[in-house]
A and B are shown apart, each in its own frame.
Chain A
Amino acid sequence: MPPWLCSNGPHCDIVISSRIRLARNLAHHQFPRRASLYERTAIFNEVAEAFSRANLENSFNVVNFGALENSQREFMVEERLASPDLAAMDGDRGIIHDNARQISIMVNEEDHIRIQCLDSGLRPMELWAQTDGIDDALGMQIDYAFDKKLGFLTCCPTNAGTGLRVSFLVHLPACVLTRTIDGVLCGAGQMGVSTRGFFGEHSAISGSLFQLSNSAALGSTESAFCGSTCAVVESIIDHERKAREKLLAHARIELTDKIFRAYGILCNASILGLDEFLNLTSALRLGIECTLFDKCTIQDLNRLLLFVLPAHMRACMKKEIADPDVREERAALVRLFFAKYKKQGGA
């Protein structure tokens, strides 16, 4: 299981994962969207060769998406090693990732290079230090596009400057249930933190899962951006904990009912869309974290979260599935999971 799903980091009951991403470009090439297929090949080769000269500690794998099947690309997108945009592009593009799947460098996405480090829980400074080290090592082997006044130059000016995006995947079911979520997210927006759904840009909100990240990337130091975004998230964690206490104090039976109804549907449904799965398992997550539910663990739910995604399901089934959302197969897998758990005697 990728480290970001291991549920072993600080505040992992609310912050599922943290991610640091740096955008970089080569000084003497057009940005990928403008570059010809031939130029993208040259860029890909130049970055891969520079990376090999950087001689970093971990062992890394170079994966050219141009040589993969669509299902293989989607698999890596679901593991968050690559973005949907990278999978959708053509020509030579791909990732350079470590064996642990904690570090991934995208090549020829919107920018030439996007270095990302992910891990479980709230740990932005640790991940920043790791990303910074990789950036420094690679920057010694290659010429980045950099301007003294504007900083690192990126394809979209929204990323120019530090090129930094620090983001957190958080689970806020109590804020949703107590209807304080709009105020919380609005407050975050005013403090320079923007919100997206679980599946990233343009995705809807499901399962009370939110991706929070810094809106600005220019004007402050990288540590300051990490620190200020983290401070906002810590405040949101505080709101969520208080909302959970309120629910337990004033609506315990209603909450318990909601959790076990969700459990009943998951154990018995014949058709299960991804949105419905996320919403139902959100109730179970809350139940586990509030010690109202012990039929499975958070780690189990995280594992299930990955395996019910379409490309993972197809890889597991090893057969063609007509429904692009694999709803019947998902329901069958989830029923099997909980049935096995019951047989083993539960948590």
Chain B
Amino acid sequence: MVMCEQCGKQAATVQVTRVANDGETVSHFCFGCAAQQGLTIEMKGSSLQPQTAQQEIKQDLRECRHCHLKFSDFAVKGWLGCPACYGEFEKEIDAMLLQMHGANSHNGKAYAEHSEGSLGTADIRSLSKELAEAIIQEEFELAALIRDKIRQRSSLPYSDLA
């Protein structure tokens, strides 16, 4: 008989499979300890002894490592947080694309980032990358310095830009 991992006193009746970014873990708890953790437990079995029924719960705790959008939020809302989410939730998105579009492979126009941009924009591109990183890391003073550098290198002033 498998005992509860939390209290060690009661028989474990609830199996919890947790899927996270670094892999899957399986834990076993008794009814009382599972309820304490806030897990949603069905009242199965006899109404006199619901805690004796065996249950399996799956929790998807994955999140995008770049923007920290939870997979469970994406599953409910239908929108992603950043371009990297496509790689982080590749399997599910692939299935979704097949269902939505009847295809999961792009056949349209090609595009390549220009590491040596025309009109001398290589500096601006690399600065833009640095700006984005600084913002995500909430290094706002650094971001302001980079923003000013980008503006110096741009050709036209925009008076109504914030």
Contact = CB atoms under 8 A, between A and B. Distances in A.
A176 B147 CA distance: 55
A50 B154 CA distance: 8
A31 B85 CA distance: 10
A111 to B, nearest CB: 10
B109 A25 contact: no
B145 to A, nearest CB: 13
A140 B82 CA distance: 21
B155 interface: yes
A225 to B, nearest CB: 8
Given A155-B79, A157-B96, A147 B121 contact: no
A33 B79 CA distance: 9
Contacts of A119: none
B143 to A, nearest CB: 7
Contacts of B79: 31, 33, 110, 155-156
A44 to B, nearest CB: 7
Contact of A42 (B82, B101, B147): B147
Given A151-B108, A216-B100, A62 B158 contact: yes
B62 to A, nearest CB: 16
Contacts of B155: 52-53
A161 B106 contact: yes
Interface string A1-40: 0000000000000000000000001111111011010110
A143 B128 contact: yes
A198 to B, nearest CB: 24
The interface centre, meaning the residue of A28, A36, A132, A151 with most chain B CB atoms within 10 A of its CB, is A28
Given A27-B113, A140-B114, A42 B105 contact: no
Interface string B118-136: 1101001100110111011
B107 interface: yes
A62 B133 contact: no
Contacts of A157: 78, 80, 93, 96-97, 100
Given A46-B128, A52-B154, A92-B162, A153 B83 contact: yes
Interface string B55-69: 000000000001101
Contact of B154 (A42, A49, A156, A162): A49
18 contacts: A26-B128, A26-B132, A42-B132, A62-B158, A64-B160, A140-B119, A143-B113, A144-B113, A145-B83, A150-B105, A152-B111, A161-B97, A162-B109, A216-B101, A217-B101, A218-B97, A220-B103, A221-B108
Interface of A: 25-31, 33-34, 36, 38-39, 41-42, 44-46, 48-49, 52-53, 62-64, 66-67, 92, 110, 132, 139-153, 155-158, 160-162, 164, 216-222
Interface of B: 66-67, 69, 78-83, 86, 93, 96-97, 100-109, 111-114, 117-119, 121, 124-125, 128-129, 131-133, 135-136, 140, 143, 147, 150-151, 154-156, 158, 160-162
